[in-house]
Amino acid sequence: MFLNRILLGALICFALCGAATAAPPSLKMDLPQTLSDSLPWFAIREVKENNPPFTRGHLAQMAAKSDRVAMVYFATWCIPCRVGVKKLAENGAELKKHNVQVVLVNIGERDEEMIRKWLEKAGASDFTVVGDPFKRTTEGFGLVNEGQEISLPRTIVVDKNLKPLFMLGQEGSDWPEVLWK
């Protein structure tokens, strides 16, 4: 009888805890004032052979062919980033169907070979990947003040004209659908 009560109590606790830990939707955040109209100019490099430049102009060309572009900030050491990037890769067909381009922005890491291997393992090698080891976009976009670290993951979604539509602070149960809805 005592054991039955313990088991019943454990089942009730498990059910209540399970319901309480259901993933919430993605956290939308206020955009910084610097992003109210458009993304400012920036210049960083792609994470690929010969490290071609990736500037605001390159992003504008990409955006002109899309309905939206999601700039997804990540680091290979970030556990939520791993989950989010993997979900993006798994939903590549849906992203294409909804005309959403993804630019993965690696923050603070300089070992590009390690980044490429990590992306390959996550199945995300088809995305445009840029490196921002010196925080050109995080500080330049007003996401953090000079010398501060950005909380990851973070995503900025822009339209065809590079006007920021919204910013996500963390990915939730609606990830990546939130990118096209």
Q: What is the pLDDT of residues 102-118, one digit of tens each?
A: 999 999 899 999 999 99
Bridge partner residues of 128 (DSSP): 103
pLDDT at 155: 97
Which pLDDT score is estimated for 19? 43
63, containing H or E segment: helix 56-64
Each residue of 61-86: pLDDT tens digit? 999 999 999 999 999 999 999 999 99
Sheet with 43-46: strands ordered across? 27-29, 164-170, 154-158, 68-74, 100-107, 128-132, 43-46, 53-55
- pLDDT at position 38 over 80: yes
Higher pLDDT, 95 or 48: 95
Answer whether residue 27 shows pLDDT above 90.
yes
The CA-based angle 152-114-158, given to 5 degrees, is: 40
pTM for this model (two decimals): 0.86
pLDDT category at 159 given cuts 50, 70, 90 is very high
